[in-house]
Amino acid sequence: MDSDSTGHKSNSSTSTPIPSDWVHAKTLMALSFRKDVKKPKLLALKIFLMPALLMLYTMGFFIGYQDNNGSGSHVAGDYRLFEGEEWSYPRKINIGAFNSSFLDQVNMALSDRLPIDDIQLLNASTSSEVVTRCQGSIQDSASDEICAFIRSENKYDLYFGGKGTSYPTQTALAGAQFAINSAILNVSNLKEMYPASRIQQTPQLLTKESVRPNVAVVLVPSIMYVLAAIISSLFMAATIINEHINGISKSYLTVGVKMRTYLLQWLAYHSLNGIVLAVLLTLVCIFFKLMPMSNVGLIFVSNYLGLVGMYAMLILLMQFVEEEEMGSAIIWLIGFFSMGVGAAIIVLESADHAALTVLTVFFPLIGMIQYFGIYIFYDYTGKPNLMLFCLLLFHNVCDLILLMILPSWICRL
């Protein structure tokens, strides 16, 4: 009690301001960090165990998307470009010409420059005579035998067998055209404007229908990814379960910490650690070609948001667990359920199925499997996929909403 200069007495008191939610969150996160620093081996396991396990589980798994859809190819825009190949020639060419002298010169050019085993000159000066000589005796496959008639110095016809079972895009036919073209140019003393020493396969338009990857390319890495996530999450969940069982979390509530703040600070703390973990997982995915057709940045985002979703789910779930053994069992059950459901839908090639997307809200591990499926089946070109990005954010937003709503209900338990 104090008195002022007029002799009147007044009551005054000082009170400590209540810390804000942000201050509480920073204090609890700093406390968690100091605890982790005191146990560096455990901290290392939390960060490095999952990528290490993923690397071990998928070691040697170099099947990859590209290896199942044409080796030696690369993607440019919406097309897959193939490497050039050496020319394939027929084993035998029966050839006639409008002029016997010109035919002899073409024969010499073919024999000297091209690796064709058998060149048979036909005593035929018209195309009908060539057809008559070849009809009935020519082999069905163009790689075995073809017939040719040179009408003039700049025009010739090719004849091949097989009737309805044959097709004009046989590589040996392209090789025969190249061989005869080169020979005629040589005889005519003309130089090739654009020499072609190799053959180029037509680029492939990449669509869901034209690319059918091996399901194992999607399924095996995704299952191994979830398995590594399960084992790694056991270490993270142990700390949260311990605080809940020993009443530490409730003690924070008595000093003014809100349950929502308590849960969100755990999510923020593990999300910061998840940045390092997501980088390591991205490196493993790139090195082992688990998502070789996808954008590096998008792979990182999917890894990171998948981890955030998993953290949110576990932080909420562990508030209802009263025994550490039960918490571990629940994590394993969730993992096996996620692998079973996710694998079944991937096998059906429905990685964007609506049911799968809804399940990711409550089972983020299914979302991890979904990412692999969408990457391989849909994101062929490595461009950021809008559908995939929306799916990445969907269950994370839902988990954050749950973290904002459920704490008040948890406090009543």
Strand partners, 251: none
- Burial (CB count within 10 angstroms: exposed 0-12, middle 13-18, buried 19+), residue 355: exposed
Q: Average of pLDDT values for 386-410?
A: 63
pLDDT surpassing 50 at residue 382: no
- The residue count of the chain comes to 413
Q: What is the β-pairing status of strands 9-10 and 2-3?
A: antiparallel
Lowest mean pLDDT, pick from 146-150, 194-198, 383-387: 383-387
pLDDT surpassing 50 at residue 30: yes
Q: Three-state SS for 263?
A: helix
pLDDT at site 293: 63
pLDDT at site 405: 67
Task: Extract long-range pairs of 396-401: CB within 8 Å, 24+ residues apart.
Answer: 396/305, 396/308, 396/309, 396/312, 398/361, 399/308, 399/309, 399/312, 399/313, 399/316, 399/361, 399/364, 400/312
Q: Average of pLDDT values for 355-369?
A: 77
Q: What distance in Å separates the CA atoms of residue 377 and residue 317, rounded to the nearest whole number?
A: 32
Lowest mean pLDDT, pick from 167-171, 209-213, 373-377: 209-213
pLDDT band at 395 (very low <50, low <70, confident <90, very high): low
Q: Please, are residues 73 and 194 in contact by the beta-carbon 8 Å criterion?
A: no
Q: Write out pLDDT tens, residues 265-299.
A: 998 888 888 888 888 888 888 877 777 666 788 78
Q: Please, are residues 26 and 32 in contact by the beta-carbon 8 Å criterion?
A: no
Q: Write out pLDDT tens, residues 183-205.
A: 888 888 776 665 666 666 777 77
Strands (E), 77-141: 79-82, 92-97, 118-121
